[in-house]
A and B are shown apart, each in its own frame.
Chain A
Amino acid sequence: MITSGRFQPGDVVLVRNDDPPHHHRTPWYVMGKTGWIDAVYEPWPNPEEMAHGQHNAAKIPLYRVEFDQRDLWDSYDGPERDRLVIDIFEHWLEPASGGDS
């Protein structure tokens, strides 16, 4: 099991709400949303550096983050058990309390 990053499976996290001018891989629909760590992946080169031609971009921790669909979409009309998982790099995540999960 990989434990390289600051988060462990089950940790509750908040996705930063940010709009940096450069390429990034965090879609708007998860920004500002609270979820939890589903899986810890091995570190990957930071795509935000790779996009600017840095082929030796630093490897940074990557997580599969899980959300309750109803926390993502006000209009979600499927069952409560429905989930969405998405890969998010560590610098987009902040520790959060388990309030709404």
Chain B
Amino acid sequence: MSDHGHDHEHGHDHSHGNGHPHRHPPAPDIELSDRAKRSLAIQELLVEKGIVEPHEIRRRVEEQRGSPMNGARVVARAWVDPEFKQRLLADARSAVAEMGFEFPDDTGLVVLENTEERHHLVVCTLCSCYPGALLGPPPDWYKSLPYRSRAVNEPRSVMSEFGLEIGDEREVRVVDSTAELRYMILPKRPAGTEGMSEDELAQLVPRDSMIGVAEPMSPDMVQA
């Protein structure tokens, strides 16, 4: 507890009676886990050695806090605006920046389109590369060894376990994301959605349909 009449839950400016205001750091109100302590120690070292700037760490964390709704909005825009779709498929990074979604300078973004002839499935066999700014943090199964190893050599069985059957007349095209490019899928617009607004369409686009283990929902699934 404080020795001068109030506690220090929050950092604030005050004086100790010597006329010199100064600032206390906030007192931690929870015990940090060993992992959290180690992570903080590594961050401090990286900053101290001039390898990264504090704002770069914050920016990366914030980018990972994206939500799959961001990706859904991009998909819906592409469904209603053919020129946007063209820009998205040609240079996804610039196209999504138009909508305010930023990727780190050292990561690219590629959007691939599902068609009547072709269905894409994204995996990162080496780790768990994922377009966090558009889809949020990757799901646990995406990072799991079984998914990473099986998506490449038995993609149809893996999709089937997610409830998605792709007919033999369509190519299944697995995308292994091994470099600095992040991949997102532009799914096929469902039938019966003519005349729906961009906002309504975005509600039909689950995260998994932008990874390739699901299709978008049909309008009656949303109303149900």
Contact between A81 and B179 (Cβ–Cβ < 8 Å)? no
> What residues of chain A lie closer than 8 Å to B155, measured between beta carbons?
78, 82
A2 to B178, CA, bound (A): 20
Interface size class on chain B is: 20 to 34
Interface size class on chain A is: 20 to 34
Given the interface contacts A44-B108, A79-B168, does A84 sit within 8 Å of B152 by beta carbon?
yes
In the complex formed, the residue of B with least CB distance to A79 is B168
Where chain A touches its partner, the secondary structure class is mixed
> What residues of chain A lie closer than 8 Å to B177, measured between beta carbons?
87
Q: Which of B153, B154, B175, B179 contacts A44 (CB 8 A)?
A: B179
Stretch at the interface among A4-12, A24-32, A93-101: A24-32
A20 to B7, CA, bound (A): 58
A57 to B177, CA, bound (A): 20
In the complex formed, the residue of A with least CB distance to B174 is A84
Produce 1/0 per residue, B144-188, CB < 8 A to A: 000000001111100000000000100111111111110000000
Q: How far is the CB of B196 from the nearest CB of chain A, in Å?
A: 32
> What residues of chain A lie closer than 8 Å to B168, measured between beta carbons?
78-79
In the complex formed, the residue of A with least CB distance to B173 is A83
Q: How far is the CB of B47 from the nearest CB of chain A, in Å?
A: 15
Contact between A81 and B153 (Cβ–Cβ < 8 Å)? no
Contact between A47 and B156 (Cβ–Cβ < 8 Å)? no
Contact between A78 and B172 (Cβ–Cβ < 8 Å)? yes
Contact between A27 and B178 (Cβ–Cβ < 8 Å)? yes
20 additional contacts (CB under 8 A) given A72-B153, A82-B173, A84-B175: A25-B178, A26-B178, A41-B108, A41-B179, A44-B108, A45-B106, A55-B51, A72-B152, A75-B153, A76-B153, A78-B168, A79-B171, A82-B155, A82-B172, A83-B172, A85-B175, A86-B176, A87-B177, A87-B179, A88-B179
